[in-house]
Amino acid sequence: MTINRHFALGIVLIAVTACTPQGNQENKYQDPNLPVEKRVDDLLGKMTLEEKAEQASAQLLFYKDFFQKRDYKKGHIRNIGHFLWEGNVPNDAKSVAEHINEDTRRSIEANRWGIPVLQHGEALHGAQWGNATCFPQSIAMAATFDDSLYYQEGLVVAKELRAVGVRQVYAPVVNITRDQRWGRGQESYGEDVLMNCRFGVAYVKALEGSGIVATPKHFVDNYGEGGHDSYASPMSWRVLREVYLEPFRACIQEGGARSVMAAYNSVDGIPCSSNRQLLMDILRKEWNFQGYVVSDYGGVEIVANQHRMAQDEDDATAQCLTNGLDLQLASTNKNLAQLVRDGKISEKTLDETVRRILRIKFQLGLFDEPYVDPEKALQTVRCTEHRQLAEECARKTMTLLKNNGILPLREGQIKKIGIYGPAANTLNVGDYSGGRGGWRGEGGVTPYEGLQKALEGKAQVVLAPAGQNVNPLASTCDALVFFPSITEEEGSDRSSFRLPSANMKQNREQTGALIIADQQETKIRIDQERMVRDLIATGKPVIVVLHNGAVVDISEWVDGAAAVLEAWYPGEQGGTAIADVLTGRYNPGGRLPMSWVRNIGQNPTYYSIKPSGRGYGYVENDGKPLYPFGYGLSYTTFEYSDLEIPETLEKDKALSVSVSVTNTGERSGDEVVQVYIHDELASVARPMKQLAAFKRVSLAAGETKRVELDVPYRSFAMWDKDMNFRVEEGNFDVWLGKNAEERIDGKMVYVK
- Domains present along the chain, CATH in parentheses: 3-379 (3.20.20.300), 398-602 (3.40.50.1700), 638-751 (2.60.40.10)
With CA atoms as reference, report the closest residue to 201 among 140, 138, 150, 137. 150
DSSP character at residue 656: E
pLDDT of residue 441: 79
Instruction: Answer yes or no: are the C-beta atoms of 657 and 708 closer than 8 Å.
Output: yes
Residue 100's H or E segment, with its range, is: helix 93-110
Cα–Cα distance, 371 to 390 (Å, whole number):
28
pLDDT of residue 6: 45
Q: Count other C-beta atoms under 10 Å from residue 497's C-beta.
A: 24
With CA atoms as reference, report the closest residue to 70 among 112, 91, 114, 100. 100
CA distances (Å), 53 to each of 44, 105, 314, 338, 575, in order?
A: 12, 20, 13, 9, 48
Could you say which residues of the chain have pLDDT below 70? 1-25, 332, 436-437, 502-525
Cα–Cα distance, 390 to 505 (Å, whole number):
24
* 3-state secondary structure string across 685-703: CCCCCEEEEEEEEEECCCC
Cα–Cα distance, 398 to 396 (Å, whole number):
6
3-state DSSP assignment of residue 414: coil
403 Cβ neighbours under 8 A, 6+ residues apart: 562, 563, 633, 635
With CA atoms as reference, report the closest residue to 300 among 334, 271, 277. 271
CA distances (Å), 544 to each of 259, 470, 486, 501, 526, in order?
A: 41, 14, 14, 17, 16
With CA atoms as reference, report the closest residue to 701 among 671, 672, 669, 673. 669
621: exposed, middle or buried (C-beta count within 10 Å: 0-12, 13-18, 19+)?
A: middle
3-state DSSP assignment of residue 750: strand
Backbone angle region of 178, left / alpha / beta, with phi > 0 → left and psi within -120 to 50 → alpha: alpha
Instruction: Answer yes or no: are the C-beta atoms of 215 and 294 closer than 8 Å.
Output: yes
Cα–Cα distance, 496 to 553 (Å, whole number):
8
pLDDT of residue 25: 58
pTM of the model: 0.94
For 480-524, how does the pLDDT look when each residue is reduced to its tens digit (9 = 90+)? 999 999 989 998 999 999 998 854 443 333 332 223 333 344 455
Cα–Cα distance, 45 to 31 (Å, whole number):
16
Phi, psi angle pair for 25, to nearest 5°? -65, -20
With CA atoms as reference, report the closest residue to 570 among 186, 154, 136, 128. 136
3-state DSSP assignment of residue 612: coil
Q: Which residues of 148-183 are buried (b: 16+ CB within 10 A; e: fewer)?
A: ebbbbbbbbbbbbbbbbbbbbbbbbbbbbbbbbbbb
Residue 671, amino acid:
E
Cα–Cα distance, 182 to 490 (Å, whole number):
9
Q: How many CA atoms within 13 Å lie on the side-chain side of 505?
A: 25
For 14-53, how does the pLDDT look when each residue is reduced to its tens digit (9 = 90+)? 443 433 434 455 899 999 999 999 999 999 999 999 999 9
Which residues are 563's β-sheet partners?
A: 403, 543
Looking at the chain, how many residues does it have?
752
